[in-house]
Structure 1
Amino acid sequence: MTQATHKPIASNVDIINARVPGYQDLQMLLVNHEGVIEQILPMGTVFKRIPPPDLQTWDVAGDWISLGGVDLQINGALGLAFTELTPENAAMLPKISQYLWDAGVDAYLPTLVTTSIENIQRSLNIIADFASRSTTGAKILGVHLEGPFLNYGKRGAHPAEYLLPLTIEEVKRVLGDYASIVKIITLAPELDPGGEVIAYLRSLDITVSLGHSQATADQAQQAFDLGATMVTHAFNAMPPLHHREPGLLGAAITNSNVMCGLIADGQHVAPTMLKILLRATQELFLVSDALAPLGLPDGIYPWDSRHIEVKNGTARLLDGTLTGTTLPLFVGVQNLLKWGICDVERAIALATNAPRKAMNLPVISPGQPANLLRWHWDETTKELTWQRL
């Protein structure tokens, strides 16, 4: 599924004195008239070229330059849950894509949580149609199905009545004619001891992410050996790390072929545990896990047949069950720095380069469209701000 995006803002410009995630020292980015990064070179590099007419030079004075964010787990925004898409409210999709673009997100995976097959397929159809036509806003990369193949004991806020057995037949029934728009499926691997489903999903080029699971380390490792390459919201809806039973997460963070999504809102995972996780592995990426009230004020909102209460950007069912956030992706970046968990470069990369790596997409490099963000770290206030270039 392809989709056009905004024409890059930066074009026919040399951006100098830039810090770039993944590059050492100060760099210069040469952006051509088509808005494509031609070269990323260390400052002071001597090269010969005939400057194009009207070439501009932007000195960013040591600020960071990155591509926009990529959010691989976002359940809705502006009051609309992606599982509740209908032909009548489908006009909200371009508004959500524009909202995310304005929030610094270049691309995203609308995430469908556990619901009826009818709801899943209706939403898949509407998203696929929109993605094929849209020319502005954040790009839809495909869909993330978070369920319905989850462990009952770790279902969290997912409605039990819609959970399904993990078999190839049930997967086919859920996907219907829409397998091509689905890019990630979160599942509990212990529900399929033989591993046939993971092999089948990989044959469809769908990334398998383990989550909402009671899997042991051995069960998780078997899933990774079969082709699973991702973990959904590390620490949440899975057994905790234990010194005698490392569990799913222990198997994941010791496997360099597996990338873990994490939520850095301070509620889903304590900052101390995030610090441990970031010290344990480099294979991480940030997600928002944002729900439909993203972009709306705190309050009580409908959520399938139930209600959630949002306080300070954290959403819970009225019984207290944690359901997600209503915080934009980059709040996680800022939180990691506020808590002193990592440096500026890694915090930015976790929301920009890392999710692209998880989806086998190019990171910031020559040949990429110059949809660029400028990040400024204020040493005095210890605050990180950003703007689109």
Structure 2
Amino acid sequence: MSTLLRARRLLTERGWLDDHQLRIEEGLIAAIEPVPAGVTTWDAELLCPAYIDTHVHGGAGVDVMDEAPDTLDRLAMHKAREGVGSWLATTVTAPLASIHSALARIARRCLSGGPGAQVLGSYLEGPYFTPQNKGAHPPELFRELAIAELDRLIAVSQCTLRTVALAPEKPGALEAIRYLRRQGVRVMLGHSAASWVQTRAAFDAGANGLVHCYNGMSGLHHREPGMVGAGLTDSRAWLELIADGHHVHPAAMRLCGSCAKERLVLITDAMQASGQPDGQYSLCGEEVTMRGGIVCTASGGLAGSTLALDAAVRNMVEHAGVLPEEAIHMASLHPARLLGIDNQLGSLSVGKRASLIALDSGLHLQRIWIQGQALSL
């Protein structure tokens, strides 16, 4: 069965195509071609690749660490309503047994499929951090790096563990980075007090980039550029960015857009309060409070976000001065390249999976197709 979608503008890796149509066959993009003369009806104002959120802890009142059997299904539907076609379920610092249990649940959902946005695998955020920039992570549960332990995590995940976050100044960090990269696992650096030199050494060892740039790391100083300076100036580094205006000031968002436009990966870092009303929630086993959409610990520190990825795209356009197509790439093509799946997802191209979204002229979501199937929102 073939599906034909006609758009006033269609976004490819090379830019916009006006008055084009896209044909879907068996869940793949079969053709992209000009709309025939005389066509007066359109399926989309803007037809774009579905977003990929590589860093998600929760939303819709649930958390990736929850054991309830419908947790990942509920979260996958919640993400699809933001225009997300695929995502990484992200764990937090917790007892090792709890992390193993979460990785196993994510693996089952990843391999079996289900409703909503596609689960691409897992992202391990913690417990390999240092206390100085712990964020909401409980430092008493931080662990030292050991290859045997990492190997066990990969095995428990049935090789669906896609990303590991760690602090590069920890003993054995460079060896761990090299090991993980040999296993095909991406490594992001964060929740760390590492220096510029230590961060650059981690990039030399194969680390892929920074966890939520600016947050939970040594900042930029003119005599010690720190982790932020290393990430902004190293062309090898992908930079996750929580573009909500709270975690990162709009001027700092603009700086990322100026220094690392082709290396920015928009993420939500969303926790269970995303899409929910203000009130009390939990993260990393600690009670947190959301007021005005901002979640904080009892001590006043930020505790994850409630950002939606489609809002992050609009924020980059409105507050960081990037072009709409650039912001869309930051939430689709760039995360696909980071994960090494840009031959399948991340842009509209013949032969790739038909995961795409229809947006209005203000970049608000109208419709979403995942693996060629229209999803009811």
Note whether the superposition's TM-score is higher than 0.5.
yes
**Cα distance in 2, alignment partners of residues 172 and 44 from structure 1:** 51
Structure 2 gap ranges (5+): 369-377
Aligned with 1:155 (options 107, 116, 134): 134
Corresponding residue of 2:29: 37
Task: Report deviation, 1:101.
Answer: 1.7
The root-mean-square deviation of aligned C-alpha atoms, in Å, is 2.4
How far residue 213 of structure 1 moved from its aligned partner, in angstroms, is 1.4
Aligned to 1:39, the other structure's residue is in SS state: strand
| Identity within the alignment, % | 31
Is the 8 Å Cα contact of residues 21 and 346 (structure 1) preserved in structure 2? no
Q: Name the stretch that deviates more: 124-133 or 336-345.
A: 336-345
Q: Is the 2:10–2:47 Cα contact (8 Å) retained in structure 1?
A: yes
1:308 matched to which residue of 2?
288
- Equivalent residue of 1:201, what SS? helix
Q: Which residue of 2 aligns with 1:369?
A: 353
SS at match of 1:126: helix
Superposed counterparts of 1:304-343, under 5 Å: 304-343=284-323
What is the correspondence of 1:73-88 to structure 2 with a 5 Å cutoff? 73-83=55-65, 85-86=66-67
Partner of 1:67: 49
Secondary structure of the structure 2 residue equivalent to 1:191? coil
Distance 1:100 1:302 in 2: 19
Indicate which of 168, 183, 190 corresponds to 2:162: 183
Q: What one-letter code is carried by the residue in structure 2 that aligns with 1:37?
A: I
Residue 14 (structure 2) aligns with? 23
One-letter amino acid of the structure 1 residue matched with residue 163 of structure 2: I
Is 1:350 equivalent to 2:342 in the alignment?
no
- 1:208-246 deviations in whole A, cap 9, x for unaligned? 111111122221111111111121100011111111211
1:162, distance to aligned residue in structure 2 (A): 0.7
Q: What secondary structure, in the 3-state scheme, does the structure 1 residue paired with 2:352 have?
A: coil
What does residue 366 of structure 2 align with? 387
Contact kept? 2:187, 2:207, Cα under 8 Å? yes
The one-character-per-residue Cα deviations of 1:169-200 (angstroms, maximum 9, x if unpaired) are: 44345555336121100001111367211111
Change (3 A) 1:305 1:228: closer
SS in 1 for 2:312: helix
Which whole-Å CA distance do the structure 1 matches of 2:111 and 2:56 have between them?
A: 20
Secondary structure of 1:272's match?
A: helix
Q: Is the 8 A contact 2:214 2:248 kept in 1?
A: yes
Structure 2 Cα separation of the partners of residues 26 and 227 of structure 1 = 37
Alignment equivalent of 2:113, drawn from 125, 134, 139 = 134
Structure 2 Cα separation of the partners of residues 303 and 210 of structure 1: 21
Question: Residue type matched to 1:190 in 2?
Answer: E
Q: Secondary structure at the match of 2:341?
A: coil
SS at match of 1:183: strand
Instruction: Indicate if the aligned counterparts of 2:5 and 2:43 stay in contact, CA closer than 8 A.
Output: no
Q: After TM superposition, what 4+ stretches of structure 1 lie above 4 angstroms from structure 2?
A: 43-46, 173-176
AA aligned to 1:26 is L
2:278 is the alignment partner of 1:287: no
| 8 Å contact kept, 1:29–1:37 | no
8 Å Cα contact 1:11/1:36 also seen in 2: no
Q: Quote the Cα distance in structure 1 between the aligned partners of 2:333 and 2:41.
A: 23
Once the two structures are superposed, residues 290-347 of structure 1 have per-residue CA deviations (whole angstroms, 9 ceiling, x without a partner) of 0012222111123344211112222111221111112211111122223252121112
Alignment equivalent of 1:205, drawn from 164, 184, 188: 184
Q: Would the alpha carbon gap of residues 261 and 45 (structure 1) be closer, same or farther in structure 2, given more than 3 Å must change?
A: farther
Partners of 1:232 and 1:119 lie apart in 2 by 22
Residue 237 of structure 1 aligns with which residue?
A: 216
Match of 2:247 in 1: 268
Contact map agreement 1:209 1:229 (CA 8 A) in 2: yes
1:18 aligns to what SS in structure 2? strand
Query: In the TM superposition, what is the alpha-carbon distance from 1:105 to its structure 2 partner?
Result: 0.9
Answer whether contact 1:12 1:35 (CA < 8 A) is retained.
no
Residue in structure 1 matched with residue 371 of structure 2 by the alignment:
none
Change (3 A) 1:19 1:12: closer
1:277 and 1:188 map into 2 onto residues whose CA distance is: 21
* Superposition TM-score, scaled by structure 1 size: 0.86
SS at match of 1:198: helix
Distance 1:94 1:295 in 2: 15
Letter in 1 for 2:17: L
Q: Distance in 1 between matches of 2:201 and 2:57?
A: 29
Deviation at 1:35, TM superposition (A): 4.5
1:32 and 1:325, CA in 2 relative to 1: closer, same or farther beyond 3 A? Answer: closer
Report the Cα distance in structure 1 between the residues aligned to 2:154 and 2:355, rounded to whole angstroms.
33
> Matched residues in 2 for 1:22 and 1:60: separation?
21
Q: Counterpart in 2 of 1:13?
A: 4
Q: What is the DSSP-based 3-state SS (H/G/I as helix, E as strand, rest coil) of the residue aligned with 1:323?
A: coil
Work out the CA distance in 2 between the residues paired with 1:33 and 1:179.
30
The offset of 1:262, in angstroms, is 0.2
